[in-house]
Amino acid sequence: GCILHGKIYPFGEISRTDNCYRCDCSREEMNCCALFHTPVSYDKEKCKAVFNQESCNYDVVQKDDSSKKCFVYSQV
């Protein structure tokens, strides 16, 4: 198998790792891509990005009230 972040995964396609990546594991190499987008453009004075492990995505919420979402202008 392949090792990613200290965990062994079997050969073949891995639809979702513990760290929210999709990977292809072969005897020669392991190729992975993120299942999430990182927010880069939002009101950073009033808001913060918090990674949601269950949804494999970032929630951008208000710093003083995390129940209120913020508008994200762009993600990468």
Long-range contacts of 45-50 (CB under 8 A, 24+ apart): 46/70
Quote the pLDDT of residue 34.
94
Domains of the chain, start order: 2-34 (no CATH), 39-75 (2.20.25.590)
pLDDT per residue as tens digits for the range 23-75: 999 999 999 999 999 999 999 999 999 999 999 999 999 999 999 999 999 99
Burial class (CB in 10 A: 0-12, 13-18, 19+), 5: exposed
d(CA 73, CA 58): 13
**For 69, which DSSP code?**
B
Whole-structure pTM value? 0.75
